[in-house]
Amino acid sequence: MFFYIVFLVFLLWALLEFRHAGMRALGQPGAKIDDRRTLPILFAVIISSIFLGFAAWLILPQEFPRGAAAIGANLMLIGMALREWSVFTLGKFFTVDVAVQAEHRVITSGPYRYIRHPAYSGVLLTMLGAGLIFGNWFGLALAFLPGSALLLWRIRVEEEVLERELDEPYRAYMLKTKRLIPFLY
């Protein structure tokens, strides 16, 4: 039974990200895109990492206690909820591209009140949860580390663009908030 629940959680994640993939800045009037190819690389690495983590789950012995998978499934759901809240809060300014749109402004409500990149925090929680579900250290490392490294790179790219395009309002926002974890980082 739990296997089916986990399958549904992964399916939900895939469906949500597929929906997000359609939210592009391409073709939007006045949009300035400076993605530096982070999007296709990020998608490829996360998908590959999850498939390899799943293979590790099938092949390698389970090292984590049985409850780790339940914790992982819950972390995935929390991560997806945080990402969806972030997308909803950004509204028309959300795009999977690193882009600044016409009339773009700094959003400081919802989860953006606490951190600058809550959608990425949600992805990180989701990947961490997936890694716990895989039940061993190798699967956890595969599911979490490559995608995390690329997200940190993408955040640097995104912050350079936002700082350049939104100027002082974004710099002031950066001084008041952390990147991914409230009060810490």
36 CB neighbour count, 10 Å cutoff: 15
- What is the amino acid identity at position 147? G
With a CB cutoff of 8 Å and minimum separation 6, the contacts of 99 are 25, 28, 31, 32, 33, 34, 35, 161
The tokens for 62 are 């389970």
| 102-155 per-position pLDDT tens digit | 889 999 999 999 999 999 999 999 999 999 999 999 999 999 999 999 999 999
Cα torsion 50, 54, 57, 63 to 10°: value is 10
**Helix segments in the chain, DSSP class H:** 2-21, 38-59, 67-90, 118-133, 137-166, 168-176
Q: Which helix (H) or strand (E) holds 99?
A: strand 99-100
- Does the pTM surpass 0.75? The reply is yes
Domains of the chain with bracketed CATH: 2-18+30-176 (1.20.120.1630)
Q: Please report the DSSP string for 5-43 in residue order.
A: HHHHHHHHHHHHHHHHHT---TT-TT-EE--TTHHHHHH
- The Cα 127–Cα 77 span in angstroms is 11
The residue among 89, 167, 165 whose CA lies nearest residue 121 is 89
| 22-75 per-position pLDDT tens digit | 766 665 666 777 877 888 898 899 999 999 998 999 999 999 998 999 999 999
